[in-house]
Amino acid sequence: MGGVDKAFIKVGGVSLIERAIARARPQVGELMINANGRLDRFDEFGLNLIEDRVQGFLGPLAGIFSALDWLHANRPQAKWLASFASDCPFFPLEMVERLVTTAESENVSVAMAASAGRHHPVFAVWSTAIKGTSETVLNQGGFRKMDGFIATLPYARVEFASEPVDPFFNINTPDDVTTAEGLMVRGAANG
């Protein structure tokens, strides 16, 4: 995206981060943002900001464990962490409910979204009973990929309809922004 902070790219006149917050907030008891770099760019949203505890921009798994570490220290009663990505402007509004229901009924540690034959581990719920910390999983365990770590746990996939629009369509190029705006104008996406 030409070095632009993807979270602040506008789709239909609204930034991706604002869209993500609007879709995620009603699904959770408390919303926080995991980010690195200048955290003050998110100050306007008034949410807890959590930086990766292990440095080096190690990817989404670093964010998951930073948030789990934060929950253990600050919200010990929490049972689930829900994770979202800001670059998917159409993720389901009932996602967390469906994922938690599946995770609890199947007694798994992680339930992740899937659509069109692909799974989306960034869109998941994570049990706060998962053993490990940022340091033990990322540094000592050497895990970097979410799929590799999830494979060590009992997990489930929850399929979401991909028609008329895949709810996990993500913005990676300027053409994707144009596509997303077209989907919204045609009413194909609940954007």
Kindly state whether residue 55 falls inside one of the protein's structural domains. yes
pLDDT, greater one: 68 or 132: 68
Q: How does pLDDT run across 134-145, given as a tens digit for each residue?
A: 677 766 676 677
Say if 32 falls within a structural domain.
Answer: yes
What digits encode the pLDDT tens for the residues 158-169? 999 999 899 999
Mean pLDDT of 19-42: 94
Which tokens belong to 101? 């229901």
Q: Has residue 132 been placed in a domain?
A: yes
The answer on pLDDT for 75 being more than 90 is yes
More confidently predicted of 183 and 56: 183
Give pLDDT, residue 188.
Answer: 63
191 falls within a domain: no
> Does the pLDDT value for residue 107 go beyond 90?
yes
Q: Are 68 and 165 in contact (CB under 8 A)?
A: no
Confidence of residue 123 (pLDDT cuts 50, 70, 90): very high
Range list of H helices, the chain: 16-24, 60-74, 95-106, 134, 146-150, 174-185
pLDDT score for 37: 86
Domain assignment present for 104: yes
**pLDDT computed for residue 185 by the predictor:** 78
Number of alpha helices (DSSP H) and beta strands (DSSP E) in the chain: 6, 8
- Per the CB < 8 A criterion, the answer to whether 125 and 100 are in contact is yes
- Listed in sequence order, the residues at least 6 apart from 116 whose beta carbon sits closer than 8 Å to its beta carbon are 162, 166
Residue 147 placed within a domain: yes
Secondary structure (3-state) at 140: helix
Tell me which residue range forms the domain holding 64. Answer: 6-185
Helix (H) or strand (E) holding 49: strand 48-50
Number of domain units in the chain = 1
Whole-number Å distance between alpha carbons of 181 and 178: 5
What pLDDT score does 143 carry? 67
pLDDT for residue 170: 93
Q: Is residue 64 part of a domain?
A: yes
Contact by Cβ (8 Å): 71, 78: yes
Q: Is the pLDDT of residue 154 over 90?
A: yes
- What residues have CB less than 8 Å from 140, skipping those under 6 apart? none
154 φ/ψ angles, rounded to the nearest 5 degrees? -70, 130
Neighbour tally for 33: CB within 10 Å: 21
Rounded mean pLDDT, 104-112: 98
Give the number of other Cβ atoms within 10 Å of residue 10's Cβ: 12
Q: What is the CA radius of gyration of the chain?
A: 16
Q: Look up residue 189 and give its two tokens.
A: 């996406």
Contact 84, 20 (CB under 8 A): yes
**Any idea what the CATH number is for the domain that residue 46 is in?**
3.90.550.10
Q: What is the pLDDT of residue 190?
A: 67
